Structure 1
């Protein structure tokens, strides 16, 4: 038989309640509860901020024998009245977290902590979740007696929550990168865009501290406004480091938004190969095939075998989402067509890739408008299409996600309800 969940204690009803001794004599009032974040599991209450004789003092958790909705019981005969001072990594639940935004990792959205829920777990009172619904907010507005009768609304388990702590003077802890890494880069970018600048910056700093490759992926997903906002605050070297890890087409889009003086300085800091690719893409119109394409693709000669094509894929560093097809060229490097990666997996190792070429494989020139790109990909049911120069040599590839991102309206994720407060 499954054990029942422990009863919840609402923070808003504990804050402001009486501090009493074991004889139920009133000593003062509870002003706030203190936790230390960073450890795995549910954060334990480490102490209480109390006011006694109009003086704020720290009451260590071990001095308390019981916590209830209407009282906190002192378990010691004496009360230490030294003035309260924050210690490193301490967070005040009411002051620092209540009625503030947090990250709900399960929903990949920002939520507001309308109430903080506590329970006795493993022998001590711990933060077990937050109430993000209207009932939590209502409870704080009602008198204490009436508030006790308001049940928990939209409960989010603390295991799915990541708080912002950048505003807390005693805490240097960043948002946990392992938790953020569970999300897709586009979801992290959505969180950055939905939060305040300080909240977005805290997310980006956490990502950068844990995984610079993920930082570049998230940066690619940010809208122009947020990209420029963060670029203004970073040095040229920091920007160049991010751009070097981004896809060349996305990096070129960012470079295009910089003023001329800074653009040249940042381009000079890029690795030579990345600089060459970005400079080439920078010259194309972003609404045409050249501006949409990526220079990352796999292309083999027509006499190559299936196994040789597979080896090229394994040795290369082309992103997975760009590897739907391997492109094939003749001895003059002119594009002959493409072979789906799935076909390479099904074919015998010694089969020439020329035998697997798809018939009537289309291609585009760099100045083809977006409408033509979309029509061609829809007509031929393509997930990727090659872009060639005047000599029919392949210079880039456009994937369907590039087309969709360009065609969808700005802010489409919020417009279609993919972000929210609950």
Structure 2
């Protein structure tokens, strides 16, 4: 077992023991949970060159020893998929997906397994820092170490453009989008954007929805246009409309035109409304059913739906199949408990609260809180349902800034 700090700057000797170069860095190839060491960056007379692992017969705290005396002194050039442990990892931040935190790397742990050196972990403890900076042995064994398994590294915040953890998506997928958003915001803006871009479209959309609107707009605005449009399609319609509203007009129009027709139409319904109104606060993700079908038929329709809101608590009952006129509301619980043969109009609630799309958002939020609702339907002058305002969006208005992420995500 070796720490990176124990070999950096150590001599590289030939077979006779003569010093021929110095260890400048250690190279590992990404793609595995514990990446193999592929060689060293060696320095000779102000020149850095690559020394393959196969040319080493020894690597320890005293340095490295060569298997042969012939060296290729051509300048070192990083290859794709390679990480330089000193340059790219030491003192950098990374996401520990197991601990759900962003940590700083003070040292790197190497382990020899079956004659092959591998990167097995990173030391984030004070002892790791002292090991690098203090005279050798001064603080040895006096302080505990904390080593994170490299297999739990979900993202490496390095400035080297060619370094990418190809397994980041799978590792970060272990976390909830709320957790990913919080961690991404701990990093710099550029690095947080890289985290979002490494995710699949659905997870990226859910993660962006947990970020402040200005950060959402900036990330999507600087992303590849096709990828940004794909992510917008996965976002809830109200969130997508808000982001487009925060982008420059020309950029918003470009992204909107790249979206699929169905998602375009859904978002287009929300774009005309001001942010501080019920229309600007509502989402069009709700379930509407005609009043003349039976409870059993309603349950069957729910099962057959290709897409439903993530959380269904209220079902909105309309006058007929070709009408959006709101006639009543029924909770999912009451639907399940009702007689399957009963018609919806016989089990629905006919007295219910509504909001007008032009009503101030704060008034809508206060009504949701006053009546202890999970959602409030928004209807137009003709009584047609346009969308719903959910409790999490309402509470965002009523509670102090910064409290949003403390609320349960009911409909997102």
Which structure 2 residue ranges, 5 or more long, are not aligned? Answer: 407-412
User: What's the TM-score, normalizing by structure 1?
Assistant: 0.82
User: What's the TM-score, normalizing by structure 2?
Assistant: 0.84
Aligned to 1:5: none
Q: Distance in 2 between matches of 1:326 and 1:171?
A: 49
Whether 1:190 and 2:171 are equivalent positions in the alignment is no
Whether 1:91 and 2:80 are equivalent positions in the alignment is no
Whether 1:246 and 2:257 are equivalent positions in the alignment is no
Change (3 A) 1:156 1:265: closer
Change (3 A) 1:222 1:328: same
Aligned to 1:326: 315
Aligned to 2:208: 219
1:221-278 CA deviation, whole Å, 9 max, x = no partner? 3322222323443466554443333221111111222334444454444444433333
SS for the counterpart of 1:144 is coil
- 1:131–1:152 contact (8 Å) kept in structure 2: no
Shift of 1:123: 4.4
Change (3 A) 1:145 1:19: farther
**CA RMSD between the two structures:** 3.2
Q: Distance in 2 between matches of 1:247 and 1:9?
A: 49
Number of positions where the alignment pairs a residue of Structure 1 with one of Structure 2: 403
SS for the counterpart of 1:193 is helix
Shift of 1:283: 2.4
Shift of 1:54: 5.4
Q: Distance in 1 between matches of 2:163 and 2:143?
A: 32
1:62-116 CA deviation, whole Å, 9 max, x = no partner? 3334433x22342625352433333332211001111111121123332211221
- 1:57–1:81 contact (8 Å) kept in structure 2: yes
Q: Distance in 1 between matches of 2:47 and 2:258?
A: 57
- 2:107–2:129 contact (8 Å) kept in structure 1: yes
Change (3 A) 1:158 1:261: closer
SS for the counterpart of 1:86 is coil
Shift of 1:18: 3.3
Which structure 1 residue ranges, 5 or more long, are not aligned? Answer: 1-7, 417-422
- 1:29–1:50 contact (8 Å) kept in structure 2: yes
Aligned to 2:29: 36
1:5-55 CA deviation, whole Å, 9 max, x = no partner? xxx53211221223346776655432211100012x211222122335655
1:342-372 CA deviation, whole Å, 9 max, x = no partner? 3334445434333443574322222343443
Q: Distance in 2 between matches of 1:408 and 1:150?
A: 48
